[in-house]
Amino acid sequence: MRVIRLLIALVCLAAGAILGALNRQIVSIDLGVGFIPATSLGIALIVALLIGALIGGLAISASVVLPLRRRLARAQRTAVAPPTIAGPEV
């Protein structure tokens, strides 16, 4: 499992390096409310991908993970009492 994670990390690192090397143009980004001065296009793309991944992870966490944790906590609270063992039937 660790080898697979290491390979995925190396592939992502190589993809980021290639993306940065192939996009050396200088760009300025106007956000409407702010302005980011001249930076390379590769860095701007990598930062945009990172921010998108973080926002997506937060959205998934808020919409899926937190409700499931609440449901699990509620189920664990209701299942606190151990089940009773029935005696032999007569």
pLDDT in tens, 2-36: 999 999 999 988 998 898 888 889 998 888 888 88
pTM above 0.85, yes or no: no
47-60 mean pLDDT = 92
Q: How far apart are CA 59 and CA 20, in angstroms?
A: 28
Q: How far apart are CA 68 and CA 62, in angstroms?
A: 10
Note the pLDDT of residue 52: 93
Residue 85 lies in a domain: no
pLDDT top residue among 80 and 53: 53
Residue 36 lies in a domain: yes
Residue 70 lies in a domain: yes
- How many domains are contained in the chain? 1
Residue 2 lies in a domain: no
**Domain housing 26:** 18-74
